[in-house]
Structures are given as C-alpha cells and as structure tokens.
Amino acid sequence: MGFISRGFHGRPRDEGVKLPPGQYLVHDFPVLSAGPTPRVPLDRWEFAIDTEDGRTHRWSWRELMALPSETPTVDLHCVTKWSKLGTAWKGVSLDTLFADVESSAEYALVYSYGGYTTNLPVEDLLDGKAWIVYEFDGEELAAAHGGPARLLVPHLYLWKSAKWVQGIRLLNEDWPGFWETAGYHNYGDPWREQRYQGD
Amino acid sequence: MTEPAQDSYQDGNALAGPLREIFAVDVTAAGGQCVHCGLTGPVASLRVYGHAPGLVARCPGCDEVVLRLVRGPESAWLDLRGTVSLRIPLPAQGVPDGSEAGPA
Amino acid sequence: MNGRRLVWRIARLVEIRDETPSARTLVFQIPDWPGHLAGQHVDIRLTAEDGYSTQRSYSIAAPADGERVELTIQRVPDGEVSPYLSEELAVGDEVEIRGPVGGWFVWRPDGTAPVLLVAGGSGIVPLMAMIRARRQAGSRTPFRLVYSLREPGERYYAGELRRPDPGLDVTYLYTRVVPDGWARPPGRLTVADLNTGGWPADFTPACYVCGPTGFVETAADILLAMGHDARAIKTERFGPTGG
C-alpha cells in the first residue's frame, strides 16, 4: 500500500454513474490547451478535406452554415481523467461533408488553426460518429473550447476532437499527430483505457 | 461556458520538477536555441502550457513548440525536436594541474 | 544540488502560521532534505484512499534551514489541493514532497548586483525567500521590493516586512483598496511605480518578477521599456494552478 494523504479525497469521483475506467465526473468544462488560442475571423475561416490523390474540398463559414445540421448530445472523456456527461452540441455530420468526397484512404490526419494535429481511422469519422460542431449548449462555440468550430468524435478520448479544426487530410498511411507522437495511444478508446502507447 | 482571462502559460521554471525526474542536473538553467526562429535563451524562459495531456514548452519569440514532455505511469516521453541544442552548465571538470604528473 | 534524480519524500507538517484569512504558511520537516536556494520550488503530491493522486507546485518561502521547508499556500476557491492544504492539513499530518527544483529563478547570497523584487499577490512567496536569505547571510546587497496587492488585508508577512531591515526598501501598491490617507490611488502597476520603487537601469540590478501571468507581462514590459537588460529580468508566472 502506498502513501495516503489523511483526509484527502480530491474532487468527487463516485456518483453512481458508469464511466470509462479511471475517469471521474466533472460538472464544469475544463479548458485544456497546448498553446495560444488561435483567433480566426469567420470571413477567412475555411474547412477542407484533402484526399489522398490531391483533390481538396473546401467550405467557407457560410457554406458550412448552409449544410443540414444535427444536435448530438454526447459524453466527453478527457485523457487527463475527467468526463463530462450529456453535452449538447450543434454541427454538421462528417457523413454530410464526406458525401461528395471520393476516397479509399483508411487514415485521417486532422489539422487545426494554430498547428495542432491528431490522427484516427477514417471509419471513426463516418456513420454518425463525428461532427464539425459550432455551437455548445445553445451558444456559439467559444474560442477556448475550440470555436469557431471543432471536431467532435466523442467515442474517443477528447484530444481526438481537435479544437479550431481547419481540415482533414486523407492518407493511405497512418500519420501520428501531436499527442500520438509524444507517448499517447494511437487510437484512444476510453472504454479500453487506451491512454498511452502500449496500453 | 467561461473563457479564461487570457492564454495561461507558465515559465519554463515549471519544467524543473518534471525534468529533474529524468535528468540528474537542472535543465531549466540550460541555454537552448529554437529550431524555428533561432532565438536563444534559458529553458526557464520558455512558455509552458501545462493544462494539457502533457507539458508543451513554446518559444517566447515565435510560439512554436520547443519541447514536449508526457508523463505516463511507467514512462516519460520527452520530445526535443524543436531545440537545436542545449548547453547545460556543469561543475568544472578536474583539469590536470601537473601535481600528479609522473616522473619528469 | 545536482547529481541525483528527484525522489518523493515524506514531509511532516510541524508548524502552521496564518498569513491572511485565506493564506497560511506551512512548515514541513523533511528527513534528508538536501537544502535549497531562495526562489526554488517543490512539488506536493496528495493521494486519496482509492489511489487517486494529484500534484501541484509551490514556491519555498524561506531559505534552507536544515530539514525545515516553509511554504505559503493561498486558498483557491473551488480548488482541489489548496483548500486541503490551507484548511484540512494539521500538524503531524504527512504529504509527499519532491524538490527542490528550478535553478534559474534563484538568488544566491554571493550576488552583489542590487536586486529588484516585483511581486504580484502571492508572487511574494519566492521573493520573500530571497529577502530572508539575504538577512540570514548578512548580505549587504541592496534590495528593493515592489509588492502589488488588491488590498492591505492580503499582505503576506506583514509584521516581518514592517520591521527594519537595513538595505531593504519595501513599496506597497494596491490595485483595489488603499489604506486611509494613502497617497497613491488604487490602480495597477505603472512605470512610475517601478521608477520610484525600483532601481535605475544603469545600476544593472538583477530583477525578479513573480505573480499572475498578466501582472508579470506588464512588469517585464515596463522594465524593458525602462532600459533594463532582458537577460537581467527573471520571471515566474503562476499559470493555471487548478488550485
């Protein structure tokens, strides 16, 4: 048995809800950042999908807003061990954005304004599993939480849900992203507790 | 949802503990050079973003990543690809002064 | 202090001193403590019974004194660690500490350049260690402290800083509430404050600035504008501590 700090409990962790292993529940929305918050004016904002054969599909902010939107309510699991349940978002399903994209690539590298990257299999972006979201809790998405728009892939640890998303590059080979090249798990399934390489 | 007052970062001093877990010397006093813009300065002057899955130290001149450190339960990952080199101050090494020289 | 990697040590709380209604100084006894320099900090690790563990960094408030290590902890509302340390922890309790760490934001008693200390709020803690190290060493190096606070009730070490300490000048400035009859109106740190309370740049002082990020930015910008050498300005920002 290791050292115990008498009377120390930390934040409440057991509230009778089923969370992925090692996670605790929060009710606020912690802000994590690995760098300065990029500020992208909407008239210069653009989202792109670049295919493996060099074609690029682009959407301006107005074009994104004109697409059919969805309002997913999902649970978030951050690799730093907090989970937040029942978060309400509004955005465009990646199925909608991929509708006219011809690609047989298996891997995606998501890149963001400010230089962040993260990788995941293309199949984890499709079939109702991922969105480009621009509203949280009925309000426009704040820059601290990734606004104007971020990726939302709630079935993976939250570092995969890139803030300030700028585009998705489709690749025939896997290309590990910012945290994936610094010790974090390449896939990041919270229910299998895939936090670090080798987990 | 609240916005933080500003982008909150700490000085490179905040790396001292985590790096002393790895190195036997204090690396925050070492001088380094940024790969991206060439700025030189002590590791202690980097901007450290610690509210993240790891520690990300950025150049105060160009904001590019100079050093990253992730601590897992059984390993640490240290990425120095943003650093040209580190000059680490060390105690002077015993310089021969002739007193132990052999017979002339 | 080099040559060994850091280990977590068991530290026993031996003394508590209240500094303000929301801050207290904790004195720990740490067996085999290797000593430290003024300005260095330690990491504290707390572990709950179910194995949950978290850690925070705190500056050391006093120079090396055998196995005694003093920290001053400000309670952060809704924090996770600081309320425990500033309210729950009692004399005789133990925590895990590793350190000392940080070899850059330090003052050594053999330093001869005049020293300017600029503190914002609880940023006074590592600077107080320097003031105490100077006194302990009988150093004649002139020190000036400019200490910015919201209101007089938030002063740390008030009694000790009031006592005469030849060669140490202390200037308080308040950002929200001032004492009765105080000449300077409440407000943030300005060029005038560092002009009067600091040293001219041609004295080539060593400058130490510690406080919240915004305060440190302002102070460092003012010092640069006054002509101080960037290499002589050492800063320590409180990032988001998470309490």
Q: Which tens digit of pLDDT belongs to each residue from A105-122?
A: 999 999 999 999 999 999
* Interchain contact B23–C (C-beta under 8 A): yes
CATH number of the domain encompassing residue A119: 3.90.420.10
For the cut 50, the answer to whether the pLDDT of residue B33 exceeds it is yes
Q: Higher pLDDT residue, C243 or A13?
A: A13
DSSP code, position C77: T
Q: Can you give the pLDDT at residue A146? A: 95
Q: Higher pLDDT residue, B89 or B98?
A: B89
C-beta atoms of A35 and B4 within 8 A: no
Contacts with B51 from chain A: Cβ below 8 Å: 30-33
Q: Which stretch of A104-108, A157-161, B6-10, C131-135 has the lowest confidence by average pLDDT? A: B6-10
> Which whole number is the average pLDDT over A7-13?
77
Report whether the peptide linkage leading into residue A148 is cis, meaning its omega lies within 30 degrees of zero: yes
Mutation target to probe the B interface, by most B beta carbons within 10 A, among A163, A196, A197, A199 is: A196
Place of tokens 């302990």: C136
C-beta atoms of B10 and C238 within 8 A: yes
DSSP code, position C88: I
To the nearest whole number, what is the mean pLDDT of chain C? 92
Element (H, E) at A62: helix A61-66
For the cut 80, the answer to whether the pLDDT of residue C1 exceeds it is no
DSSP E strands: which ranges in A94-152? 107-112, 117-121, 131-136, 139-140, 150-152
Contact between C13 and C27 under an 8 Å Cβ cutoff? The reply is: yes
Q: Where are the alpha helices (DSSP H) in chain C?
A: 82-83, 124-137, 158-162, 191-197, 213-225
**pLDDT tens by residue, A74-105:** 999 999 999 999 999 999 999 999 999 999 99
Reported confidence tier of residue A30, pLDDT bands at 50, 70, 90: confident
C-beta atoms of B9 and C239 within 8 A: yes
The size of the B-C interface in CB pairs under 8 A is 85
**Could you write out the DSSP letters of every residue in C144-179?**
EEEEEESSGGG-SSHHHHHS--TTEEEEEEESS---
To the nearest whole number, what is the mean pLDDT of chain B? 83
Reported confidence tier of residue A14, pLDDT bands at 50, 70, 90: low
Residue of A nearest to C51 (CA): A4
Q: What are phi and psi of C51, to 5 degrees?
A: 95, -10
Q: Can you give the pLDDT at residue B98? A: 43
Q: Can you give the pLDDT at residue A64? A: 98
Q: Can you give the pLDDT at residue A85? A: 94
> Which whole number is the average pLDDT over C212-237?
92
Residue of C nearest to A8 (CA): C48
For the cut 60, the answer to whether the pLDDT of residue A154 exceeds it is yes
Q: What are phi and psi of A64, to 5 degrees?
A: -65, -45
Q: Can you give the pLDDT at residue A26? A: 87
> Which whole number is the average pLDDT over B44-65?
93
Q: Where are the domains of chain B?
A: 10-87
> Which whole number is the average pLDDT over C162-188?
95
> Which whole number is the average pLDDT over B38-65?
93
Burial zone of C123 (CB within 10 Å; 0-12 exposed, 13-18 middle, 19+ buried): buried
Which of B4, B63, B72 minimises the CB distance to A196? B72
> Which of helix, strand or coil describes residue B14?
helix
Question: In order of start, what are the domains of chain C with their CATH numbers?
Answer: 9-101 (2.40.30.10), 115-238 (3.40.50.80)
Contact between C172 and C155 under an 8 Å Cβ cutoff? The reply is: yes
> Which whole number is the average pLDDT over C56-83?
92
Q: What are phi and psi of C210, to 5 degrees?
A: -140, 135
Q: Can you give the pLDDT at residue A12? A: 66
> Which whole number is the average pLDDT over C153-181?
96
> Which of helix, strand or coil describes residue B91?
coil
% of chain B at pLDDT higher than 90 = 59
Most confident of the ranges A29-38, B11-20, C123-132: C123-132
Q: In what order do the strands lie in the sheet with C23-29?
A: C53-59, C41-47, C94-101, C9-20, C23-29, C68-74
Chains that touch C (3 or more CB pairs under 8 A): A, B
Q: Can you give the pLDDT at residue A18? A: 87
% of chain A at pLDDT higher than 70 = 97
Residue of B nearest to C240 (CA): B8
C-beta atoms of C240 and B51 within 8 A: yes
Q: Can you give the pLDDT at residue C6? A: 81
The model carries a pTM of 0.80
Q: Can you give the pLDDT at residue C89? A: 94
For the cut 50, the answer to whether the pLDDT of residue C97 exceeds it is yes
For the cut 60, the answer to whether the pLDDT of residue A139 exceeds it is yes
Q: Can you give the pLDDT at residue C242? A: 46
For the cut 80, the answer to whether the pLDDT of residue A2 exceeds it is no
Min Cα separation A103/chain B (Å): 32
For the cut 50, the answer to whether the pLDDT of residue A8 exceeds it is yes
What distance in Å separates the CA atoms of residue A60 and residue A48, rounded to the nearest whole number?
Answer: 9
* Interchain contact B52–A (C-beta under 8 A): yes
Q: How many domains does chain A have?
A: 1
Containing domain of residue A140, as a range? Answer: 24-28+45-192
Element (H, E) at A46: strand A46-50
Q: Answer yes or no: is A150 within a domain.
A: yes
